[in-house]
Structure formats: C-alpha cells, structure tokens
Amino acid sequence: MVYIKSLLACVFICSVFYVSADDQLVEPTRKLDGTSISYDYTSGRSYNVKFEKSGVSYRYLTGSKPEKWWGPFPYQAFEVEEAVFMLSWFEKGYGDYVTLLVNFNNRLIYGSAIIAGEEVHFHGAKLKEVVK
C-alpha cells in the first residue's frame, strides 16, 4: 500500500511538472526594443548592438570601422524563457544572416551567422554591457 501511494504521488508530481512546463510556441516579441548590448566573442570579435522599433543596428568594434553603425535591419525575436531571447536578422544587400541566443540571466550569447553568403560564424560570447 505504501508503494502504491508513493507511486501515485510520484505520478502526480511528474504530471504537475509536465503540465506546468511551457510547451507552447511563443509569439514574436518586441521586448528588446530600446535595449543596447555589448559583447565579446571567443573568436576575438566584439560588437555593440542596439534594438529599436526600426530594427537592429550594430557596430563591429574590432573591425576596421568601429565607429560605423550598420543597419537598421528588420529583426525578429522570441523570448524562449524569462530574459532569454532567440533572435535573427538578415542584412539585405550584404548577404549576412545572423542568429543569436541572448541569455541575460547568465550574461552569455551564442551566435551563428553566415557572413557575405560564404563565411560561417559560430561562437559564444560574454555579455559586457546592457543598457535599457
């Protein structure tokens, strides 16, 4: 009898966690609008990125023109968990397609990009600064 009660309790607890788990697709969000972030990739590249209603713009801080802003480019974002965003944009005219996973909780970013339709970028980064 104790075994059955324990088993039922376990099934109940597991079902509560399963039901409470967010297994629904989320709608795109604009929560990042008005936010600026700076980060350093493990590859040595550094960026400053700002999100606005008009789109995403960035400066390639370790590139040849660190003062130049690129963009704005239309972007899409999902908040996949609280303060964790999956986002992407395409740089029409340049052939760059960028996808970022930005985790504000642990201050880490994972980026994947196809640059100029040829070069593959796939690196992690540490978030240095967040301005809202």
Average pLDDT over residues 110-125: 95
Can you name the residues that pair with 99 across neighbouring β-strands? 88, 112
Instruction: Report pLDDT for 24.
Output: 85
Among the listed residues 90, 66, 92, 74, the one whose alpha carbon sits nearest the alpha carbon of residue 28:
74
DSSP 6: H
Query: pLDDT over 70 for what percent of the chain?
Result: 83
pTM of the complete model: 0.81
Angle at 111 between CA 71 and CA 55, to 5 degrees: 25
Count of all residues that appear for the chain in the document: 132
pLDDT digits (tens, 9 = 90+) for 67-116: 999 999 999 999 999 999 999 999 999 999 999 999 999 999 999 999 99
From 17-31, 51-65, 88-102, the region with the lowest mean pLDDT: 17-31
The amino acid present at 118, given as its one-letter code, is E
Query: Which amino acid is residue 2, in one-letter code?
Result: V
For the chain, the average pLDDT equals: 88
**Contacts (Cβ under 8 Å, ≥6 apart) of 48:** 36, 37, 38, 58, 59, 61
Share of residues in the chain with pLDDT > 90 (%): 82
The whole-angstrom distance between residue 108's C-alpha and the CA centroid of its chain comes to: 9
At 22 the pLDDT is 61
